[in-house]
Structure 1
């Protein structure tokens, strides 16, 4: 009788529909990007990666707003991100411009996949511990944005990827390496999205949308590439003396000179560790 009572609550357990539905949408977009690249439709494949980013940005926020965060959702989100921002961009880059390089081509694509996997694993182990204002290493969606933006830009300007295969290989390897680096990137999680803003701020946001709409492939590639470059500058500015362990190594090796950030990190430890978040 007691065993039946212990098992009964388990039968009522389930998963929250809305956030996991959004996560599934991101997973589908990543898988569709792979299929599109195999069919030679590289522009559509690149657009699918950016659509996956939208789903990835929504699922965690919806889960927190509706109080439907769960350990299952966090794990499912990481697995979906591995497909959408790890495997899919690497295969797109390989099919578009790396396949004719032989071993160098698929090794460059693997470096990106491995970087995304290590980046997501490290992020999951640091949730609730690291300073939420910064990412350690380039976030996997941003790295995927560089690859997708490059392919989209090349498709718009009718550039054959195999004609610039060494450039594609270099960008793919650097993007994958930045994900496992110790460079710090602003996470923008300290922005008060619920607060009031001036009319000028709304006008600036509208202008940003207009600029992106004029040439989305070029603007998105420049934005994500600029964000990737910002990491080393932020890191160099924030350390007392730049050492090799500030670039690669464990998070404990980084000696950042900021007492306020240490205080903020201590406060973040008290927050709930298990919630969906941007990797």
Structure 2
């Protein structure tokens, strides 16, 4: 029974991601975001369970990546599609309405939201590379898909829970969203080595960067709430780029 626990947890990740996609397609980005957060939570613990129960397997590795394609790839991509639709069309994208009543000729802006789907493509490619890249056993090369998903999903959460005058104009600027989409695609597959939060020992020596990052995360969340997410992603990348990091 123990050997099946990691795959059961991965199944919960996959299920959460699938539900998130349904909510994102319907335009409920807040509920979609929370289901993605739940999926990422399960994604963290399936690998931990596999190590604890000594139940690592090739099937488990592939299943984990397939679940991540949905939870951390497709779901945030659909959220970005809906944000771009709000920015360019003024409402959530409804596919059936788009193709009804001769809306084919409604202008180029009707198709701009689909740029957001590039996040799904870049995430799937990044996960495929991860499965065959032997360099990523103790660190990551390129931004992990869960981190990128959190970055994208922070946008609707900031708009909904932390309204600041002028914030909506920035976040729902189509050029900002397109730029963020392209930046996500680049970061996911960039040849940048990023540290992993894997502790071989609890000593400060050898883990200084990890402890600094964790403390920064806690402080940022306490002070900034959802705005902390993009700040944390930026700090994560900057700390990883520091020379002689421990």
TM range (shorter): 0.7 to 0.9
Q: Give deviations 1:108-162, integer Å, cap 9, x for gaps.
A: x232112111111111001xx3153321111111111110112211222353798
1:32 counterpart = 2:22:
no
- In 1, Cα distance between equivalents of 2:111 and 2:77: 14
2:150 to 115, 129, 145: 145
Match of 2:57 in 1: 70
- In 2, Cα distance between equivalents of 1:141 and 1:81: 8
Match of 1:170 in 2: 179
1:21 counterpart = 2:8:
yes
- Could you state the TM-score of these two structures normalised by the residue count of structure 2? 0.74
Secondary structure, counterpart of 1:185 in structure 2: strand
CA contact (8 A) 2:139 2:194 kept: yes
Equivalent residue runs for 1:90-105 within 5 Å:
90-98=77-85, 100=88, 101-105=109-113
Instruction: Return the index of the structure with the highest Cα Rg.
Output: 1
- C-alpha change, 1:134 and 1:155, in structure 2 (3 Å) is same
Equivalent residue runs for 1:164-243 within 5 Å:
164-189=173-198, 191-192=199-200, 195=202, 209=218, 212=221, 215-228=224-237, 230=239, 233-234=241-242, 237=243
Secondary structure, counterpart of 1:16 in structure 2: helix
Bigger relative contact order (CA 8 A; separation at least 6): 1
Q: Give deviations 1:177-210, integer Å, cap 9, x for gaps.
A: 1111111111133x236x478xxxx9x9799657
Q: Which runs of 5+ in 1 are unaligned?
A: 1-13, 239-279
Q: Which runs of 5+ in 2 are unaligned?
A: 89-108, 205-210
Match of 1:117 in 2: 124
- In 2, Cα distance between equivalents of 1:223 and 1:149: 11
Q: How big is the shift at 1:72? A: 1.4
- Could you state the TM-score of these two structures normalised by the residue count of structure 1? 0.66
Q: How big is the shift at 1:65? A: 0.5
- In 2, Cα distance between equivalents of 1:187 and 1:205: 12
Number of residue pairs matched by the alignment:
213
- In 2, Cα distance between equivalents of 1:161 and 1:25: 35
